[in-house]
């Protein structure tokens, strides 16, 4: 693995290797303060051109636990605002000794562009690009599913909501199908599903009550208003009426189904508080596992370059 840009095309062997390595970090007490030397002497730049709470912070924690020298650029205060191009910014940071870039960008493909132009030996991690991919989110979601459900071979997973604009859904679908999940369902209105969604190997449901029946895992997604150019279809109220995850609707899933959400949540729109904070919710576990999974990703990339 030279860069981590997408889960699409990643073989099951690599996905499992990252999940196993993350499990090793968890077993070693990584949710605590234990330090590792995997990135000692390495300089990592976090470039978040788009807002983030979970991804940015858990990457920083993971980098520090791996003993990296960590620099998180304040993009709003950087020379990007003076017209410097993305690649000029990258080349200047390489001149400062960068070994790894973690990049989030509103434009789909930006981390791929960077990966094409970095010096040999420099790794790029996609922390979410436009509506395209969010591979570390998908990996931490796979970790969470495996943690609570054992493995993927007998699972029925439902992803509910705005699939069309969701880089998370796309990355989850690729990871789930590669890992052998036999039934991945997407549930949403036609306006929020990609036209070619069936080609991703999923079952499509427009009716939430049908789609939720007997599933083992429910993943709720928010409406990605920032990618809709002002045309929110359906409205938040309509969405909640037909697709909002309520306690009553959740009873259609298996009694031991887990509820996931990548965050940020819009309570009362795609998910009710009674579900988000309920006994089946593993939403905060996802966040915690994100640290070990991101450690595993960066450790794997660094090892490939050693
Ligand atoms: N899930 C996720 O990417 O959250 P943030 O936008 O807060 O990083």
Provide the pLDDT for residue 32. Answer: 57
Q: Is 124 contained in some domain?
A: yes
Query: What is the CA(262)–ligand 1 centre distance, in A?
Result: 7
Q: Is 174 contained in some domain?
A: yes
* CATH code where residue 63 lies: 3.40.50.1370
For the chain, percent helix, then strand, then coil, each to nearest 5?
45, 15, 40
3-class DSSP state of 240: helix
Measured from the Cα of 262, ligand 1's closest atom is 1
54 and 99 belong to one structural domain: yes
Annotated binding residue at 105? Answer: no
Annotated binding residue at 104? Answer: yes
Question: Which domain range does residue 100 map to?
Answer: 12-133+287-305
Query: What is the CA(104)–ligand 1 centre distance, in A?
Result: 10
Provide the pLDDT for residue 81. Answer: 87
Per-residue pLDDT of the chain (306 residues; tens, 9 = 90+): 999 999 999 999 999 999 999 999 999 875 556 789 999 999 999 999 999 999 999 999 999 999 999 999 999 889 998 999 999 999 999 999 999 999 999 999 999 999 999 999 999 999 999 999 999 999 999 999 999 999 999 999 999 999 999 999 999 999 999 999 999 999 999 999 999 999 999 999 999 999 999 999 999 999 988 777 766 678 899 999 999 999 999 999 999 999 999 999 999 999 999 999 999 999 999 999 999 999 999 999 999 877
- For the beta sheet containing 217-220, the strands, ordered from the edge strand earlier in sequence to the opposite edge, are 203-205, 183-187, 156-160, 217-220, 258-260
Q: How many CA atoms lie within 13 A of 5 on its CB side?
A: 14
51 and 122 belong to one structural domain: yes
Q: Is 5 contained in some domain?
A: no
Residue 156 has phi, psi (to 5 degrees) of -115, 115
Q: Is 264 contained in some domain?
A: yes
108 and 92 belong to one structural domain: yes
Total residues found in the chain within this entry: 306
Which residue puts its alpha carbon closest to atom 4 of ligand 1? Answer: 54
170 and 40 belong to one structural domain: no
Provide the pLDDT for residue 30. Answer: 57
For residues 155 and 217, is the Cβ–Cβ distance under 8 A? yes
Provide the pLDDT for residue 166. Answer: 96
Annotated binding residue at 294? Answer: no
How many domains would you assign to the chain?
A: 2
Annotated binding residue at 167? Answer: yes
Which residue puts its alpha carbon closest to atom 3 of ligand 1? Answer: 55
Query: What is the CA(289)–ligand 1 centre distance, in A?
Result: 14
Give one DSSP letter per residue of 72-117, joined into a string.
Answer: E--GGGSGGGGT--HHHHHHHHHHTT--EEEEEESSTTHHHHHHHH
Q: State the residue for tokens 């620099």.
A: 71
Which ipTM was obtained for this model?
0.98
Q: Could you tell me the two tokens for 82?
A: 């003076």
Which residues' Cβ are closer than 6 Å to ligand 1? 52-56, 128, 137, 262-264
Q: How many Å apart are CA 27 and CA 22, to the nearest integer? A: 9
């Amino acid at each position: 693995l030279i860069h981590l840009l997408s889960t699409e095309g990643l073989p099951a062997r690599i996905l499992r290797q990252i999940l196993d390595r993350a499990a090793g970090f968890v077993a070693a007490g990584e949710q605590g303060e234990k330090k590792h030397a995997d990135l000692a002497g390495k300089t990592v730049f976090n470039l978040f051109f788009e807002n983030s709470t979970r991804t940015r912070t858990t990457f920083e924690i993971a980098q520090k636990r791996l003993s990296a020298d960590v620099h998180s650029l304040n993009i709003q205060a950087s020379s990007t605002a003076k017209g410097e191009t993305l690649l000029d910014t990258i080349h200047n940071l390489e001149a400062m000794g960068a070994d790894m870039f973690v990049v989030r960008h509103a434009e789909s493909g930006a981390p791929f562009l960077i990966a094409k132009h970095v010096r040999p030996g420099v790794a790029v991690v996609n922390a979410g690009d436009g509506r395209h991919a969010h591979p570390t989110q998908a990996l931490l979601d796979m970790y969470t599913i495996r943690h609570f459900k054992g493995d993927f071979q007998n699972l029925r997973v439902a992803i509910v909501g705005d699939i069309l604009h969701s880089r998370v859904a796309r990355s989850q679908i690729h990871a789930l199908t590669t890992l052998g999940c036999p039934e991945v369902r997407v549930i949403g209105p036609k306006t929020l599903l990609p036209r070619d969604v069936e080609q991703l190997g999923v079952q499509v449901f427009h009716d939430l009550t049908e789609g939720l029946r007997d599933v083992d895992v429910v993943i709720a997604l928010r409406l990605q208003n920032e990618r809709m150019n002002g045309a929110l279809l359906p409205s938040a109220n309509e969405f909640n009426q037909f697709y909002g995850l309520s306690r009553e609707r959740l009873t259609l899933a298996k009694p031991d189904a887990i509820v996931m959400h990548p965050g940020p949540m819009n309570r009362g729109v795609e998910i009710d508080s009674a579900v988000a904070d309920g006994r089946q919710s593993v939403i905060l576990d996802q966040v915690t596992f994100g640290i070990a999974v991101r450690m595993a990703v960066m450790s794997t990339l660094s090892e490939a370059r050693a």
